A and B are shown apart, each in its own frame.
Chain A
Amino acid sequence: QSVLTQPRSVSGSPGQSVTISCTGTSSDVGGYNHVSWYQQHPGTAPKLIIYDVSRRPSGVPDRFSGSKSGNAASLTISGLRAEDEADYYCCSQADRSLVFGGGTKLTVL
């Protein structure tokens, strides 16, 4: 069982927006401004798409955005595209450790 809670799946049509939640506690998500998000396509290594709650690495489209409120973080993908279909994982700093969410499968209808 993962420490951070994510919905198992979400879906949306091309052009729409979807939001994936990541719920933790005051010991992880709520206690640090170090929440990151990863995108993973089948058979490939995860790719960092958001770090430090809302920052985007170079090359990541601004359709991807992150936020946090209390013990919950969110990833929003706007203007959905077929290539966004993938698994998404949140990750948070905790006390001298890191914890991941269980992952969310995004289906683009």
Chain B
Amino acid sequence: QVQLQESGPGLVKPSETLSLTCTVSGYSISSGYYWAWIRQPPGKGLEWIGSIHHSGSAYYNPSLRSRLTISVDTSKNQFALKLSSVTAADTAVYYCVRDLGGGNHDYWGQGTLVTVSS
């Protein structure tokens, strides 16, 4: 059974960098597919952040690209998200997911709430 688990600080100060890691179990990232981050502000809808292949090839939401880095560590079976210069608008539940391509996200982490506040 594929499982994903997000980890990282739940509180980040404005202008700082939000960093999250997703640990995958039950499936080797090196075996294929893309791995993605999706977020959901409290009480609002879903927003795709970006996806990365195990080879390191990534594609990002154009609205976040200038602040965003997604990386993969196949030795740890993890992938990570870094979002710089955060503001209150970046407060959201962040989900890591397996991305089969074409928007097909079949496995999701439970989500982690990140609040941007001083």
* Chain A contact residues, CB within 8 Å of chain B: 2, 32, 34-36, 38, 45-48, 51-52, 57, 89, 91-93, 96-103
Question: Restricting to B56-101, which residues have a CB under 8 Å from any CB of A?
Answer: 59-62, 95, 100-101
- Main secondary structure, interface of A, reads strand
Asked if A103 and B46 sit within 8 Å, CB to CB, the answer is yes
A91-B103, A97-B60 provided; 13 other pairs, C-beta below 8 A? A32-B102, A34-B104, A36-B102, A36-B103, A36-B104, A38-B105, A45-B95, A45-B109, A45-B111, A91-B105, A99-B48, A100-B48, A102-B45
Asked if B103 and A92 sit within 8 Å, CB to CB, the answer is yes
Across the interface, name the chain A residue whose C-beta is closest to B105: A48
Docked complex Cα distance between A38 and B110 (Å):
15
Min CB distance A92 to B, Å, is: 6
Closest 10 CB pairs of A and B: A34-B102, A45-B108, A98-B48, A91-B103, A51-B104, A103-B45, A36-B103, A100-B46, A102-B45, A96-B59
Report chain B residues within 8 Å CB of A100: 45-48
* Chain B contact residues, CB within 8 Å of chain A: 45-48, 51, 59-62, 95, 100-106, 108-111
Report chain A residues within 8 Å CB of B106: 48, 57
Asked if A38 and B109 sit within 8 Å, CB to CB, the answer is no
Asked if B62 and A48 sit within 8 Å, CB to CB, the answer is no
Across the interface, name the chain A residue whose C-beta is closest to B107: A48
Min CB distance B46 to A, Å, is: 5
Min CB distance B55 to A, Å, is: 16
Asked if A97 and B48 sit within 8 Å, CB to CB, the answer is yes
Of the A-B pairs whose beta carbons lie under 8 Å apart in the complex, a sample of 12, sorted by A's number, is: A34-B101, A36-B102, A36-B104, A36-B105, A45-B110, A46-B95, A47-B108, A51-B102, A51-B103, A52-B104, A91-B46, A98-B103
Report chain B residues within 8 Å CB of A92: 103
Report chain A residues within 8 Å CB of B102: 32, 34, 36, 51-52, 93
